[in-house]
Chain A
C-alpha cells in the first residue's frame, strides 16, 4: 500500500474580492518527508496557495487534501491542528518578549493560574536541542539578528508538532553564510521526518536544497517535476514563460569624470553596523560601482552619508568636485541624486497613498505638475499612467494604493519615479531583493541603460550574481572599511569575493 501524499491540491482556484484571479485550477501533490520547492515570480500565486494551506484564505474552488482526505482549513488554528506550520517572510514575533516567551505564546505551560516559566524554558531548550537550532532562550527577540529571529520563528512552528513546515522566501533576509546554515538545519528537519515546503525564486537555492519543484506562473501550474529530471534552464523557462533570463549587457560604456568622491570619510555612529572609517572612493560618470559586503558592514552608514541624512565625522564628500558638507537630502537631490532605498515600503513610498501620489512625489513641484500652490492632478495621473506603462507595472490603475502592488511591481514604480529625474548619481540599495526574476531583469536593464547615459551608479547588493552581472568595479566593505577593490571581469567569482566579505583576507 502506498502512503497518500501528505498534502495535495486539487483544482484550487482563488479569486480575490477585487477580481484578481490569483490561482486558476492548480493541482499537484507533495510527498511526505521531502523538501519540496515552489517557484514562481511575485504574483504567480505562491503566497496565495500557501495562505490557503495555512488557513489564512479560503479557496474559491477546488480542495486541499491532507493525507488523502479533503479538508476545510478555516483558520491557522485548524492548520496547526492538522500539523501545518508556516514561517512567514515577515516575522510575527513580539520584539520585547524573550525567545522563550515568544515560542510558548498561546500554549504556555501552566502551574495553576500562573505560567510555569521553568517548564517553558526547559521545553524551548529541549526543542532547540532536538532540532539543532541553537538560540539563547532568555534574551529579548529584538536584540537578535534577523537570522536568529528566523530560527525562533522556526522553533515556534516546530513547537506545535508540525509535520509540514512552510517557509516563505526564508533566505530573502539572510546573508550567504546564514543561508548555508539554514539549509543545514532544514536538511536536519527533513531527516527528522518533516515535510518542508520551500518557497523561493532563487534557482541556486532550490537546486541546493529541494528534491522536487513545482513552478507556478500567473496563477497556473506551469510545471511539476523531480529536480533530478529538470535542468535550470527549463525551470527558468517555466518561471518566466519565455526564453531564459536575459543576461544584462554591461556593454562598452566608458567611465567618465568622478561624479561623487569620498576622501577619508569616517562616520562615528551609535550602531556599530553603521560605522565607517577612512573610506576613499570615487564613483565615476557612466560606471556601476558594486559594493559587496555582509549585511551590517557599513552599507547603511554609507547610504546615509551619500543621501545627506547624516554628516561624516571626518573626511569630505564631493559632488562633481564640489564639497557638499552640511547639505541635506533636498539639496543633494537638486544636484542630481536619486536613490532606490533598500526597504522599499518603509522609505521608498507610502503604502496607503495612491500610485499617483507615490510616483509624483518630488516631481510635484515642477511646473508640469503644479500651478502656483495647486497640483495639476490630471497631468499627474497621466504621467503616472505613462510610468506604469513604460515600466510594465502590473497595477489595477494609477489610483490604486501602493499596498495593492506586489514587491516587484512596487519597486518598478519607485524606480520609475527615481529614474525619471534623469539622475547623475544613483544609489541602488538592494534594488531587486525579494522581487521576481522578470522584474529584476527589467530593473537590471534599466540600471545598465542609465549608466550608459552617463549616470554614476553605486550598487549595494547582497546578491552576488547581480553584483557580478552589473558592476564595472567592485569594492568590498567589511567592518566599515574598504578591504578590497577589484575590476569586474570573467575571472571574478563569488568564491574570490567571499573571503574579503568575511574579513578573512585583504584581497588584491
Chain B
C-alpha cells in the first residue's frame, strides 16, 4: 500500500510542477531575464547550504504537524486544532523555560513536556466535546485555534513581554534551553532528528500496534468498529490526544530550535502546512517526510525569487495557494473519509462503482 501511496505522491508532485510553471512562467516572461527567475526558483534552494538548510528547518515542524494530522485523520477525526496546538505549545514551552527555575539540562525537556501538554488542549478539547456531545470536531477545533491565539497574545503581553525589546515579544529564551544545532552553516537543529524519528515511530504505531490498528478500523469504517465492540469514543479521543501532544511539542521544538524570543503575533501557519503535508502523503507517516521536504522546497524557492527579483510576494502566495488546491483536490478524489466529510457525514451511502477503463492488449 505504501507503493500505491508513492505513485499518487509522484502524480501529485508532477501536477504541482505544472501548476507552478503556469503561474511562474508568465511572471518571469515580464522580467529582463526570465530564465534566471525559473532557475532560482527551481535550483536556488540547493545552491547554497544555508538555503538547503532552510528547507530542512522548515520541513521539521511540517513533519511533526503532518504526523499529528495523519494520526487524527486515520482515526476519522478531522481535527484542525494542530495550528492552535502548535502556537500554544510554543508559547507554553517558552513560558516554562522563562518562568520556572530549572537546572540547565532539564530546561528543554521539561519545557517541551509542559508545552506539549498545555498545547495539546487545543486538540483535546474538541476531541472531548466530540466524544461526549458529538460536537463536530472540525468546527470546534477551528474556532479554538483563535481562542488559543488571543489567549496566547494576552499572556505574552501581560506576563512575558520584554519592555526593552521594543515589540510585543517575550524575554530572551535562555541559551541553555535551546536545542543544539547540528550542521555548521545552517540552522538545522536536533528537532529535525526528533521529527524524522517521530514519523518512523508513527508508522510503527499505525501499522504495527494494536492501538493503531483499532484506530484505523474506526477511521475507515465506524460501523465495523461498532460491530466488533471497539470503544470508539475512547479510540477517537486518544487519537486526538496523541495528535495534540505531537503538534504542541512541535511548537515547542520550533521555538527552542530557531527562535531567540517568542515573537509570533498571529498563528504561524505551520499547522496548516502539516495538514497539507498529511494530505499529500495520504496520511502515511513515512511519506510525510518527503512531502514536508517538498513543500518546504517550494516555500524556499518562492521566498528566494520574491527577495531577489521584482516578483510580487503575492505571486508567491498565489503559487502556494494553487499548490494547496492541487494537493487537496487530488486527494479528495481518493480519500473516502474526506469525501464523506465533503458530502456530509453519514449521508446517503452511495455505492461508488469505480470504473476501470482498460483497453484490451489485443
Contact = CB atoms under 8 A, between A and B. Distances in A.
Interface of A: 15-17, 56-61, 88, 90, 92, 95-96, 142, 307-309, 328-333, 339, 341, 346-353, 357, 361-362, 364-365, 370, 373-375, 377
Contacts of A15: 360
Contact of B213 (A92, A307, A308, A357): A357
B224 A59 contact: no
Closest 5 A/B residue pairs (Cβ): A329-B229, A330-B229, A90-B351, A350-B221, A95-B348
Contacts, number: 90
B230 interface: yes
A361 B356 contact: no
Given A90-B351, A353-B217, A361 B224 contact: yes
A115 B241 CA distance: 51
Interface stretch (B105-113, B123-131, B153-161, B203-211): B203-211
Contacts of B349: 346
Contact of A373 (B210, B226, B231, B348): B210
Given A330-B231, A350-B220, A58 B360 contact: yes
Contacts of A332: 229
A479 to B, nearest CB: 26
B209 A374 contact: yes
Given A58-B360, A60-B360, A90-B351, A347 B209 contact: no
Nearest to A327: B229
Interface string B205-247: 0001111010011001101101111110000000000000000
8 contacts: A16-B356, A17-B358, A60-B360, A329-B227, A347-B223, A347-B227, A362-B228, A374-B208
B359 interface: yes
Contacts of B210: 364-365, 370, 373-375
B101 interface: no
B355 interface: yes
A142 B348 contact: yes
Contacts of A59: 360
A92 B349 CA distance: 11
B229 A333 contact: yes
Contact of A57 (B336, B350, B356): B356
B26 interface: no
A15 B362 CA distance: 11
B361 interface: yes
Nearest to A346: B223
Given A308-B229, A348-B227, 8 more contacts: A61-B360, A329-B229, A339-B227, A346-B224, A347-B223, A357-B217, A361-B213, A361-B228
A365 B221 CA distance: 19
Interface of B: 208-211, 213, 216-217, 220-221, 223-224, 226-231, 336, 348-351, 353, 355-356, 358-361
A59 B361 CA distance: 10
A309 B232 CA distance: 13
A198 to B, nearest CB: 20
Given A330-B229, A350-B224, A373 B209 contact: yes
A56 B357 CA distance: 8
A308 B231 CA distance: 13
Contacts of A90: 351, 353
Nearest to B205: A373
Nearest to A60: B360
Contacts of A60: 360-361
B226 A347 contact: yes
A271 B313 CA distance: 58
Contacts of B359: 58
B233 to A, nearest CB: 11
A447 B336 CA distance: 35
Contacts of A307: 227
Contacts of A375: 208-210, 213
A341 B228 CA distance: 11
Contacts of A95: 348, 350
Nearest to A417: B228
A476 B102 CA distance: 74
Contacts of B216: 353, 357
A142 B344 CA distance: 15
Contacts of A348: 224, 227
A377 B213 CA distance: 11
A357 B212 CA distance: 12
A308 B226 CA distance: 10
B360 A349 contact: no
Contacts of A364: 210, 213
A420 to B, nearest CB: 13
A309 B230 CA distance: 12
A347 B224 contact: yes
A410 to B, nearest CB: 12
Contacts of B231: 330
Nearest to B351: A90
Contact of B226 (A56, A61, A309, A353): A309
A110 to B, nearest CB: 27
